[in-house]
Structure 1
Amino acid sequence: ESNAYYVPDQHSIEVCYELSAQERSSFSGAGDSGDSLDTAVYQSMVATLYHEVGHALIGELELKTTGREEDVADQMAAYILTSDDESKDYLLTTADSYALAGSRIEALDDSAFADAHSLDAQRSVNFLCYVYGSDETTFQYLVDDGALNSDRAEGCAGEYTQMSEAWEALLAQYVRG
């Protein structure tokens, strides 16, 4: 199965090989090849792993969240991947991955809206918003190029601050100085 998930009763994270194959096919279909393709797949898989780390932290530490756990796990990935400038590229790649997945959907049925995950197109925009909100100057091109809607971009710094401060508060008692 093309998936990754946290397994609470085994206290583990499982990432299926099929997921990286699916990512490779998706990025390849979008024109990536060679080292660029390898980098895109790697960055996307690292972001997926951090998403699952979010689930693991919520489960193992019994963290309280207000919102859908899938969105909170996405925020954990964004929190980690905005901690340094190099890793922010991983979020851009992940946003591309979700945009590609969203573009393949021809029609949405009711089950798409009932899923625990946000729609792929929403997840893509959320990741763009977090990376933009982490450094509006560097990532202004996302708005200029139209990848990130300017109305949404206005609130991204606040969204990013709220998300990062929430994760810092949730993890504060577990972090050693």
Structure 2
Amino acid sequence: MTALVRLRLAAFLCTGRALAPVLAGLVALGILYGGGRAQPAEAYGVSAVVLLPVLAWQTKILLDVEPDGQRRLVRVLVGPAREYAAGLLAAALAALVTVAVAMVFPWLVGGVSGPVDPGDRSVPVGIAIGVWAHLLALPAAVALSALASRASTESAGYGVAVLAVGGVGAVVLGAA
């Protein structure tokens, strides 16, 4: 299983397909935090909602990075359940890295305000809420992308349609 996860992550990184969602996430976070300083809980809550479509897109790319022939060979060798589980685990690991960047990024660009007085506990509480919000968005994004992957939809076009409708629906309806 570890080798399959490493294979997926290596293919995702070495082919350069990781670059587009990373840039989109950084642009979205830059726009979000470029408007001024906010309290951590508020900033991270909005960040989790904004990043849900980016995480879903990143996961779909990672799940679809292998050529179909290679995917079929892996399924024959290890079975469909282990192949699919390895893809989901690789996607979750990649999404955790993106979430870690999203947690650090606002402090680097000055988008989050610090405590007003030394006894103020709003920053640690806000960070905890931010971690929780991002970790809630992560399984939703991975699940949406699993439904939109080529293995599930049999077509790249249907996969993009599922991803777009699900991502926009999650943001509009506040399901994240």
Give the TM-score normalised by structure 2.
0.34
Structure with higher strand content:
1
Q: Name which structure has the greater RCO, CA cutoff 8 Å, separation 6+.
A: 2
Give the TM-score normalised by structure 1.
0.34
User: Which has the larger Rg?
Assistant: 2
